[in-house]
Structure 1
Amino acid sequence: MESTLNTELLSSMLKDKRGKKGLRTVAEEIGGVSYATLSRIEQGRIPDVDTFVKICKWLEVSTDTFIVDAENLGTVSTKDVVIAHLRSEKTLSKETVDMLIKMVDIAYNTK
């Protein structure tokens, strides 16, 4: 089984956390990453490993969040995307995020 990087989710979460901040500002916050590289990642390009790890640290999510089976790349569920976004949310407390994730999980598992 071959794994790949879900660049769509990475791009989306990077854009969401960046908000209205400029790419240069975010590049400085992350450290060791150029704004041009961030721009390319937001456009769906695959970053090098060091950059990927730095971005995951900045997003405060595990690198596993973005690793998917290559054959299932186009089938990342909405539930997984929502949960990944909730985990990257920094304005809510961890307890609130955990409760919201439980609610999302219940909503998707209720028939």
Structure 2
Amino acid sequence: MESTLNSELLASMLKSKRGKMGLRDTATEIGGISSATLSRVEQGNLPDVETFIRLCNWLGVSTETFITGEKIEAADISEKEKIVFQLRSSRELDTDTINAMVHMVDMAFTKSKRNAQ
């Protein structure tokens, strides 16, 4: 079975975690990558191996999370991340609508965590 990198999932998770933080601030926080590189990866371009590992470390997920063709444990990706990925990969919704819906998902999961405590 051939393995490939799921760049759409990577881009979605990066955008989701970065939120409203600027590209430069995020790149500085990650360390060892430029804001231009981060922007390219968020647009779906493939990073080099070293950058990919840095991004996975920053996201707090295993590199296998983004490898298609490999069996991935469902626990590696949260329910919220799955929803955000689906929204960000939509070809029918405009960016403003997607961002508004992602914000609503964030609020729902934040409220859910507070209610569980």
**Which category describes the TM-score, using the shorter chain as reference length?**
0.5 to 0.7
Tell me which residue corresponds to 2:2. 2
Task: Decide whether the 8 Å contact of 2:65 with 2:77 is kept in 1.
Answer: no
Residue 57 and residue 81 in structure 1: after superposition, are their counterparts in 2 closer, same or farther (change >3 A)?
closer
5 Å matches for 1:69-108? Answer: 69=69, 83=79, 85=81
Deviation at 1:69, TM superposition (A): 1.9
Could you tell me which runs of 5 or more consecutive residues in structure 2 were left unpaired when the two chains were aligned.
71-75, 83-105
Give distance in 1, aligned partners of 2:5 and 2:79: 17
The number of equivalent residue pairs is: 82
Cα distance in structure 1, aligned partners of 2:13 and 2:65: 11
Work out the CA distance in 2 between the residues paired with 1:85 and 1:49: 23
| 1:84 shift after superposition | 7.8
Q: What are the Cα deviations for residues 33-81 of structure 1, in whole angstroms up to 9, with x where unaligned?
A: 00000000010000000000000000000000000029xxxxxxxxx86
Match of 2:64 in 1: 64
Stretches of structure 1 lacking an aligned partner (at least 5 in a row):
71-79, 97-111
Residues 65 and 84 of structure 1 are in contact (CA less than 8 Å); yes or no, is this contact kept in structure 2?
no
Q: Residue 81 of structure 2 aligns to a residue in which SS?
A: helix
Kindly state the Cα deviation for residue 4 of structure 1 after the two structures are TM-superposed. Answer: 0.5
CA distance in 2, matches of 1:9, 1:48: 16
Structure 2 residue 49 is matched with structure 1 residue 49: yes
Q: TM-score, normalised by structure 1?
A: 0.65
How big is the shift at 1:2? 1.1
Given residue 32 of structure 2, which amino acid in structure 1 is its aligned partner?
Answer: G
Percent of aligned pairs sharing the same letter = 60
Cα distance, 1:84–1:62 mapped onto 2, change above 3 Å:
farther
